[in-house]
Structure 1
Amino acid sequence: MAGVRETSQRGFRPAHRLLDLANALRADGSLSREAMADLLMRHGETAQDVAGSAFTEDDAEALRAAVARLTERVLAEPDVDRAARALNALLAECGARPRLSRHDGHAWHLHVDRGDDAGWADWFTAASALGLAQLLSERGGNAAAWGECAAADCTRLFLDDGPGTPRRYCSPRCASRARVAAHRARRRGSG
Structure 2
Amino acid sequence: MGSGNAAGGGIAPHGFRPAEWMIDLANAVRAAPELPREALVALLGRHGESADDLTEEAFSERDADELRGAAARIAGLLTVTDTDRAAHALNELMAACGARPRLSRHGGHPWHLHVDRGDDAGWGDWFLASSALALAQILTECGRVPWGECAASGCITLYLGTGPGSARRYCSTACATRERVAAHRRRMKVGG
TM-score, normalised via structure 2 length: 0.93
1:136 and 2:131 matched: no
Match of 1:93 in 2: 96
Inter-partner Cα distance in structure 2 for 1:44 and 1:153: 31
Q: Point out where structure 1 has 5 or more consecutive residues left out of the alignment.
A: none
Structure 1 residue ranges (4+ consecutive) displaced by more than 4 angstroms after TM superposition: 6-10
What percentage of residue pairs aligned between the two structures are identical?
60
CA RMSD of aligned residues (A): 1.3
Instruction: Give the alignment partner of residue 54 of structure 2, picking from 42, 50, 55.
Output: 50
Distance of 1:37 and 1:8 partners within structure 2: 16
The aligned length equals 188
Counterpart of 1:164?
Answer: 165
Distance of aligned partners of 1:9 and 1:2 in 2 relative to their CA distance in 1, 3 Å threshold: closer
What are the Cα deviations for residues 40-84 of structure 1, in whole angstroms up to 9, with x where unaligned? 111111011111011111111111111111111x20112121111
The residue identity in structure 1 corresponding to 2:186 is A
Distance 2:34 2:168 in 1: 29
- AA aligned to 2:150 is C
In structure 2, what residue type is equivalent to 1:138?
E
**Structure 1 residues 5, 83: closer, same or farther in 2, change over 3 A?**
same
Q: Which residue of 2 aligns with 1:149?
A: 150
- Check whether the contact 1:3–1:49 (CA below 8 A) recurs between aligned residues: no
1:147 aligned counterpart, secondary structure? strand
Shift of 1:120: 0.7
One-letter code of the match for 2:117? R
CA distance in 2, matches of 1:78, 1:139: 13
* Contact 1:148–1:155, Cα closer than 8 Å, also in 2: yes
| Structure 2: distance between partners of 1:41 and 1:9 | 13
Q: TM-score by structure 1 length?
A: 0.94
SS in structure 1 at match of 2:54: coil
